[in-house]
Structures are given as structure tokens and as C-alpha cells.
Structure 1
Amino acid sequence: MANVDLIIGATSLICFIMLGFPTYIQTQERKCNKKLPKPTNLKLSTSKQGHINLTWDFNVTEKLQNPVKYYVEYRNTTASGWSRIGTFSNIFNRNIALHKGLSFRVQAVSKTCAGDISEEKHYVPEGMNGTAAENVTCVACNTSSMNCTWTVGINAPDDTQYRLSLMQAEKVEECHHYQKDSLGREIACRFHDLKIHLLNEIYILMEGRSNKSKIQFFDEWFTASEVLNPPSNITVHLDARKLTVEWKQPRTSYAIRSHCFKYEISIKDKVYSPMSHLESFTLPIETFKAGEKYILKMRAKGDSCGNSENWGEWSVSKEFGIPGEGSFDRLLTIGGTLVALSVAVLLLICVCKRYNVKQKMWPPIPQPKNNLKDFQQQFITDTEMQYQDGCAHHRAEENETVAMMDFENEPLQKGDENGLAAISGKAPSMA
């Protein structure tokens, strides 16, 4: 039954192709008995570098039943085929390289009819052919720098001087660090501290000058090919069972998630590829020979996130060694011994402080007596005492003298005369 249905369907299709399709074509031709006029008065201007503005006129004397769409076709002078872009406006703007020259033409098309193609409009760059720089390539690196290289045009004079600049939106970066060939003509340039975004489209313009002829310019719209930095903070950890490598994603000039990178780890003669979303990698310790030294390095590339899918630079080499048999046991023994000794020393210090062992074992030594100082002090004391005794004796004599003087001046009583005679050694007189 299925085979019968298949045969009937095939027969119906053949009948439509033989009988119905020509009728459909004739119907479309009858609907398009009045062709659309072709666009006229094409005008081409370049208001800024790397940008064209194309306009045209489309004269229709009667109202069209269906809207008209225009197809703009363009190609440079070296291309064999035409590129085609549709628009509903009679104004066409586009960022496009101009250095090879361009040709444009326009065709009006409705839902049922297609008009004739317009006359071609050409853009021809100034300067002598073959003098523009050729084979221009630019590679971004280190997140904010870019290297550009090129070859001198085949017809460029010996005194040709090239000047390179990059443009993005309103930002313009001019190159100041050139490399020259043996004739002094610039063949390479390095940009430092770029402020443009490497993932967005960049316009490169290289102009030339010479005293012998007019030099054609070179221009191109491109997205920079970036050479990624190596992964950062690479560390290697070893234990008795495994080797673990850890890292951080490469530094870039734009924010990007960690799963957007692929990595390669080179250890001696082998290359390993960790999972892209991980930032660590583990290998069993049995993978390596005990007692040998190994060199490890890493690199990265983009993984379908719009960043560069070319392998970046290798990291700085890291050397590590696998200890010989029994080395881990010895390390553990030594480590345990050191820990035990440290604990014992701390306990001993605490006990000594608690029971003042230091003062008991090493009591303070008395200081020797300073005889000279004592003699001086005794001498000063004795001198002061003698001085005080002398002063007291002198005061006593003065008092005695004063008393004698008072006795002489006062009239003597009878008893006093006897006393005075006793003092002077004379016998008292008899009355």
C-alpha cells in the first residue's frame, strides 16, 4: 500500500512539472508586464575613512501594489563576483575597505517583478598602483599591546615612509614605535597601552608618502587576532599519592568567564589537556620516576567564546622533583621529631618560669664593697664631727669670758668675794 502511494505522488509531481510549471511562469510574466524602472543618479561619497555613503533616485509614475526592495551589489577591482545586500531605503551606508577600489550597482525588486540593474558607480583610490603596503597582519598580545607587520609595495620608491593608525568609534591610536628595513622604510610597528577593545571591529589605515610618486593608502576592517597570555599563578603540589597543578585564567583586556579557555600542560615530553572549566589538574605520583627532575609549563587558547582560538604563549617553566623511595617517610619522621622537640622546649620554658628555676640555680651574686667610697664617707663624717666639736668648744670659751667680764663689772657680795678669791687662787682677806 505504501509503495502505491509513493508511485501516485511521484506521478503527480511529474505532471505538475510538465504541465503546471510553465503555466505558473506565464502567469508571473503577465503580472510583470510593466517592469520596474532601474535606479538612476547614483552618488557615492566617503564622509570618513573606511566608510561609504551611496544614494540613488527611483522614479515611479504610478502607485505600486507591492513595496519595492533594493539590492545593492558591490565588489572591489580584484574580485570576480558581486556581494549583494538588500535594503528598503535608497540610502546605503557601510563600513568597507576602500584601498582596492570599489564598484557599485543597484536593482529594484518587488514581490512579483525585478527591474533592470542600474549603471555602475566606481570608487578609485589615488596614487600609483603597487605602492601601498601589502600583507598587513596585526596580532594583539599582553592585553594592551599589538604588533603589526607588512611588506613594502612592489612599486614603492626607496624613500617611501608609511604611517599606521588604528580607529574604533571615536578613538584613534597612532603608532610611534616602528621597525625599518635596510632602506629605512617602515615594515613593522608595535602599539603600547591600547585603549581600544580587541573584540570589537577595528579599522586600520596605513598612509604613505614619497618625494618621487604619490603613495596609495592601505585600509582594512578587522577583529584582532589575540595571542593569549599564559595562565597565571601556576603552582605545583606534591604528596605521597599525587601531583596537583593549579592555576588562574590568563589575563585579558576584557572580562571573560573561566570556561572560555582550553589549556595544555607540558611535562617533559608529554602534553596533557585538562577540562576547560577546571583550573586544576591531578596526576598520580606513579606517573613519574622517583628521584628525577621535571619541567612543567602551560599555555591557553579560547574556547568558542569569541576570544582567540589560537594557542597563546607558553608560561615560564617550573621545575619540580619526585623524591626517591622512602623520602616521604623520612620527611614525615624528621617533621615529627622537630614538632616533638619544639613542644618539649616550650614545656621546659613554662616549668622554669613557674618555679623560678633560674633564680634557684643561679642566685644573684652580692656586689663587692667599695672601700674607697666608704673611707671617703667616713672621712667626711669625722671631719664634720670635729668641726662641730670645735665650734662647741669655742662657744663655751666665749661664754666663759663673757661671764668673767660680768663678774668684774658687778659689785661683789661677801660670798662672792670668797668665791672669786678661790677662783684667782688668793686667800680671802680677813675682815
Structure 2
Amino acid sequence: MSGRLQQLLAFYVSGWLALEAWPFKVENCTVELPAPTNLTVELRGIGHVTCSWSWLKPQHLENDTSSLYQYDSSFQFDGGHWEQRKINSLLYREEGVDRNRHVTFQVRVFVANKTGPCRSSNWVSISIPSDEGVAAVKNFTCVFYNFEYVNCTWDVDPTAPDAIYHFHYWKNTMASVQNCSDYIYKGNRRAGCQIHRDKLDKLELTLNSRVQGVSARGKIKPFYYMLESYAFVKLRPPGRIDVARIREGINVSWEIPSDWKSHCTKYEVRVCSVKRVSCIDYMFQKAAGTIIDADTKSKNTVQVRAMYDLCGSSGIWSEWTPEHYFGEDAGTTWNWSIALLIFIPVLVAVTAIMLFAKLKQLRRWILPPIPDPGRLLKDMFFDGNGDHSVGQLFVASA
């Protein structure tokens, strides 16, 4: 049985025993028991605390074997509400906390019998102050790229003193805090760290990180960050997309790497109509799906992206795959509507010019020119050489 499973089992058993033991609200308990003593806090790794205490049963209760004594504990951050409450029968509590803030831990003992009133002690508390110094780190982000490597990056407040920044990381399975061996630079300043998969041990555990600035001009406040490994995973886009037309619509499928956990991955399919310039998104839990309202009579594009999703905690969406076309005119990218808007006016103009020329020639064939009557008369009474003088009369001599 793995250590994480043992922790979960112990948590549920202790919770079940606590519920069986106190049918009344713990808040209504009468203060009758001595408070825990010797409360201490030990800092372990990065952002992890172990709070421990001791408690002895009073002499007048030593013979009480029917009562189950429990410890009620919780944390407070920067003087806010008490949170991360836990009830169990152990004399210690291990927890990851936000070390960027002032932390206070409190604990008390109580017992609730089904046959009697609830009894409790007073609270005892201990403070874990935050580190001192100037807060310089901002915009801290970590991305686990396809379970291959982690990139953690940050910016530095321009008003903070000049410093050299060191990145440390730690997990419960590590014996000691690890130093970054592959820094990411912006100019000549450290602005991130890349951690390869082989240095992360078990991927499903929490990664605790710290950015520590060292400056001769002032003290830099360390920056802490706690990440669940499955909550900052960014997968690479799925592989080749296939679209098959069916009577109800289309079947879409895509390729995924063999090392992906299929039950921990969800997908989003985007179908866009080129004609309508609109898109619809669909969610799927497997690497295939049916879309019944797809318009296969016109050209469409389909894209897919993936996200690692475990226990309700989502990671980061991958990039979209390249567009895959489907539909009746999927083989061409020509926009006929624009083409017609250009072609039709040109066709009308050319046709009009041709018709005008043809009509002029046709008119000559159907309606020949009418002769000029004046010219026709002249041609009848006068010779054709243009000599219009009166002829001389010759008389023979006697």
C-alpha cells in the first residue's frame, strides 16, 4: 500500500471515529479538560510544518474507558478566519502552509459521549511569523509541459534592491531541498528555472518551491509557492484528426500519445463554419466523439485541444491543433461569394459592349439605308458626267 493511500485511509478512519464519538457540536463543549502542553512547530523542507503537543489524561478520568479523546486543530493566516480544520486522535499534525503569510496554529482536546455532554479544553496556539525583508518576486508561474519538464518563471519588482535569485524545490519524497541546476535568464538576471522530469520523483505529489534573493543592499523576502503536479500540467496538442461523415452528423477522432492517462484527460473540440464565421465548442472525455448538428453541406474546420484533469483539479489547456477541413467543398479554399461579386459586374459590362456592336451591324442588315429622292431625280434627268449646259442648235446652210 502506497504512503499516500495510507494517509488517505488514516484520514478517513480518524474522521469516521470522530463522527461516531461526538454527536454534538464541538463548539458547544463545556470547558472541563486541561489544555494540551509543550506545543512546538518544526519547519520541514519548504512550506511544510509539523506541529506537535502533549496531553495527559487527568487522574479523575483515568478510569474513563468509554470516552474517545480527540484533538481539534486549525490554522490562521494573517489574522483571518481559522481554516484547514482537522480532528483526529494524534498528538501531531503535518501540513503544507502558505509561508508567504503570518501563520498561527491552534489546538485543543475534547471528548463527546453519546450519553453525556461534550467536554473540551481551552485553545493553545503558536505563531509562525513570515520571513522579513522586501517583497521582490511577483508574477510567479509554473507550467509542467507534457510531463517532460517544469518551467517556473518570475518577475522582480523594479523598486527592489539588486539581488541574485536562487530557486529551490522540495517534495515529501525528497530527503533534502534541491537547488536549481538549469536557470532561465532574462538578460543577465535569473528569472526562472527548468526542472526535468527525472528530477521530480513521483509526479502526483505536491511540489513546494522557494525563490530566495540575496542582496548586499538589503534583505529580500523569500517567495514560497506550492503546486499540485496535476494542476499545472500543459499537454501538447493531440495528433492527426480524422472526420467521418455519418447520417446524424460526423464522427471526430484524434491521436494521443501512448503515455497519456486517458482517464485523466479531457478534450475540447471546436467546429467552425467558414460560411457563417461562427464556432461551437464540444467537450469529450475520450479521444473521439460524435457531433450530431455538424453542417456537412458546407465547408467547416475542426480543432482539438487537451487538458490533464485529475480528481476535479484541472490543469492548463494545450494549444489547438492545426485546422482540419471537412464538408462538401473541403478541397478548395476559394470563396465563391466574393468571386461572384467581382465576376458578375465584369461579365455584364463585356456583354453590353458586345451587344452594342452586334446591334449596330444587325440594324444595317435589317434596315438598309433609304435612297435620297433628290439625288435619285438628279440621276434620272441629268447625265452622270455632271455636264448640265444647254445643247446648241445647228441649222443647215442653204
| Range class of TM-score, shorter chain | 0.5 to 0.7
Match of 1:204 among 199, 204, 209: 209
Distance in 1 (alpha carbons) for counterparts of 2:39 and 2:149: 42
- Matched with 1:121 is 126
Give the C-alpha shift of residue 245 in structure 1.
4.3
Alignment CA distance shift 1:63-1:48 (3 Å): farther
Equivalence for 1:21: none
Give 1:52 deviation, angstroms. Answer: 1.5
1:287 aligns with 2:296: yes
CA gap of 1:278–1:102, structure 2 versus 1, over 3 A, is closer
Q: 1:265 aligns with which of 263, 270, 280?
A: 270
The 3-state SS of whatever aligns with 1:257 is helix
Equivalenced residue count is 287
Q: Which residue of 1 aligns with 2:85?
A: 84
- Change over 3 Å in CA distance of 1:135–1:287 after alignment to 2: same
Q: Output one character per residue of 1:139-168: Cα deviation in whole Å (capped at 9) or x when no partner.
A: 222331333333435863123424243535
> Which residue does the alignment assign to 1:248?
255
In the alignment, which of 149, 161, 166 is matched to residue 165 of structure 2? 161
Alpha-carbon shift at residue 62 of structure 1 (Å): 0.9
For 1:100, give the aligned amino acid.
R
- Partner of residue 70, structure 2: 69
Pairing of 1:4-153 with structure 2 (within 5 A): 35-64=32-61, 65=64, 66-77=67-78, 79-111=80-112, 112-118=118-124, 120-131=125-136, 133-152=137-156
CA shift at 1:82, angstroms?
Answer: 4.4
Alignment of 1:170-249 (within 5 A): 170=174, 172=178, 174=180, 176-180=182-186, 184-193=188-197, 195-196=199-200, 197-223=202-228, 224-236=231-243, 245-249=252-256
1:247-280 superposed Cα distances (whole Å, 9 cap, x missing partner): 123x48653338x423313344433527544625
Give the match's secondary structure for 2:98.
coil
- Structure 1 counterpart of 2:341: none
Between the aligned residues of both structures, percent identity stands at: 20
Asked if residue 311 in structure 1 is aligned to residue 317 in structure 2, the reply is yes
Deviation at 1:108, TM superposition (A): 1.4
Local SS of the residue matching 1:208: strand
One-letter identity of the residue aligned with 2:212: E
Which runs of 5 or more structure 1 residues have no equivalent in the other structure?
Answer: 1-23, 326-431
From the superposition, tell whether residues 263 and 211 of structure 1 become closer, same or farther in structure 2 (CA, over 3 Å). same
Letter in 2 for 1:142: N
CA distance in 2, matches of 1:195, 1:226: 16
Partner SS for 2:220 = coil
SS of match in other structure, 1:231 = coil
1:190 Cα deviation after fit: 4.0
Q: Distance in 2 between matches of 1:139 and 1:209?
A: 25
Contact 2:169 / 2:207 at 8 angstroms: preserved in 1?
Answer: no
Structure 1 residues 324, 193: closer, same or farther in 2, change over 3 A?
A: closer
Whole-angstrom distance in 2 between the partners of 1:209 and 1:158: 8
Alignment check: 8 A CA contact 1:263 1:299 kept = yes
| Contiguous gaps of at least 5 residues in structure 2 | 1-23, 113-117, 332-398
With over 3 angstroms needed to count, the CA separation of the structure-2 counterparts of 1:233 and 1:59, relative to structure 1, is same
Other structure's SS at 1:273 match: strand
Aligned residue in 1 for 2:363? none
Q: Distance in 2 between matches of 1:62 and 1:72?
A: 24
Instruction: Return the structure number with greater strand share.
Output: 2
Q: Which amino acid aligns with 1:308?
A: S
Task: Indicate how the Cα distance of structure 1 residues 61 and 126 shifts in structure 2: closer, same or farther if over 3 A, else same.
Answer: same
Aligned-partner residue type, residue 107 of structure 2: V
Q: What's the secondary structure of 1:38's corresponding residue?
A: coil
The verdict on how the C-alpha distance between 1:115 and 1:288 changes in structure 2, with shifts beyond 3 A counting, is: same
In terms of fraction of residues, the more helix-rich structure is: 1
What amino acid is the match of 2:306? Answer: A
Q: Hey, what's the Cα distance between the residues in 1 that align with 2:170 and 2:323?
A: 35
Q: Which has the larger radius of gyration?
A: 1
CA contact (8 A) 1:226 1:307 kept: no
SS at match of 1:110: strand
1:321 CA drift (Å):
7.7
Q: CA contact under 8 A between 2:165 and 2:211: conserved in structure 1?
A: no
Shift in alpha-carbon separation, 1:311–1:288, aligned structure 2, 3 A: farther
How far the C-alpha of 1:187 sits from its partner, in A, is: 3.7
| Structure 2 Cα separation of the partners of residues 42 and 285 of structure 1 | 65
Closer, same or farther: CA 321–164 of 1 in aligned 2, 3 Å: farther
- CA-based RMSD of the aligned residues comes to 4.0
Amino acid at match of 2:146: N
> 3-state DSSP class of the match of 1:116?
coil
Report if aligned partners of 1:228, 1:252 keep a CA contact under 8 Å in 2: no
